Amino acid sequence: MPEGGTPESEKSVVWTDDAQALLKKVPFFIRKNVEKEAEDYARQNASGKVDAGVIARIKSLKMERSDETQSDHVSPEGTAAPEEFPTTSPEAVAAPLSGRSAGKEVHPKGTNVTSARSDEGESALSESPLSKDFSSFSLFRLDPGWRKLHPTEIGHGKREFHEIVKSYSNQISVYSYCLVGLHGTGDLLLWRTGTSLEVLQEMTGKMLSTFFGRYLITEKNYMGYLTQQNNRSIFTPSKSRFIHVKPIIMTQEWHQLAPFIRSVIEREAREIAPRFSGIRLTSMASYGLDESDYVMVLESDSPEILVEFNSAFQGAQIYRYIADSQRGITAISRSMSDILDLLGG
């Protein structure tokens, strides 16, 4: 019972216009449940507001539960149909929104974690129907010769590079992260998401053709994709301070396991994230696009939680079937202008 004497279940909830519009697109047979869970989530988190992000996540969760129910039916061969571990939409990767849930983003009250960062116009949202969102994680290292240039050249280079990034804001969501002092092989990490690989490639070419781009060395580049629901906006990261990106390569022994054994191991892996509040887990399929099978992305405001999650993940059975040659990278979320200033000049 809250201090004012009003039960939690009777607290008023405010619905945004975007949330009401999105609720109308939810299939009628789960609409009431989605509405109830959205309001319960708003009350439990003390925000008292339901925005489009809450509706999108709960809707996808409902669809995932429906799919899992169907996959539990026994196949003609007498074995349960295998479950896919990371190849679902970003919302479907998340566990329930209540309690200690995987994919639950713990942010200041009222924060909409599904909206793009718009401080410098570097991110874009599209309301057109999508089938897949392609993501690129590009790690760049800056040539030390950049810091020896004349301040006038450095200022021109930073402005030119920044303008190229912003010019794609209507086609691609761009999020920048800084690794200065954190990772010896890189300084700048760009997470870019869009619906066209051609546009991602074109943007990369133009960035590297700038004066600043001549001093950038591409150390790593991970590719992945997310299957989206119709009428969804482009997937965007949360506003967490820290990010950890790790490519996942499954061993040959994994693919030789019986489907029902893989299903049990995958279920155990999915149960790890609910033990850690304040972390968002997104798994992107990359087989066929990159050398890895998946790209695992962790977002959190606490680096300690990232360490604890990775420690628990290494203790899971599935880790025995992951090639450990690819190490993850951790970076801090910053605006592009802040990162360019940190890089010197």
Phi and psi torsions of 193, nearest 5°: -130, 130
Q: Residues in the chain, how many? A: 345
- Looking at residue 49, what is its pLDDT? 82
- Looking at residue 138, what is its pLDDT? 95
Nearest to 62 by CA among 102, 94, 21: 94
Phi and psi torsions of 61, nearest 5°: -60, -45
pLDDT digits (tens, 9 = 90+) for 17-41: 878 877 777 766 667 777 888 888 8
Phi and psi torsions of 285, nearest 5°: -75, 140
Residue with tokens 């912003």: 166
What stretch of H or E contains 101? none
pLDDT digits (tens, 9 = 90+) for 223-255: 998 865 544 455 677 788 999 999 999 999 998
- Looking at residue 66, what is its pLDDT? 52
- Looking at residue 223, what is its pLDDT? 92
Domains of the chain: 8-73 (1.10.8.550), 132-234+333-342 (3.30.70.1030)
Residue with tokens 């009222």: 110
pLDDT along the chain (345 residues), means of 10: 49 81 70 81 75 71 55 39 34 28 32 34 43 87 93 93 93 92 88 91 95 94 75 66 93 88 88 88 87 91 92 90 84 94 82
State the burial class of residue 107 (Cβ atoms within 10 Å of its Cβ: 0-12, 13-18, 19+): middle
Contact 253/72 with Cβ under 8 angstroms?
no
- Looking at residue 204, what is its pLDDT? 95
Nearest to 329 by CA among 314, 310, 301, 313: 310
CA–CA gap between residue 8 and residue 46 (Å, rounded): 10
Burial profile 140-176: b = 16 or more Cβ within 10 angstroms, e = fewer: bbbeeebeebeeeebeebbeebbebbeebbebbbbbb
Q: Look at residue 136 and give its three-state secondary structure.
A: strand
Amino acid at 202: E
Write the DSSP string, 251-281: -HHHHHS-HHHHHHHHHHHHTTGGG-TTEEE
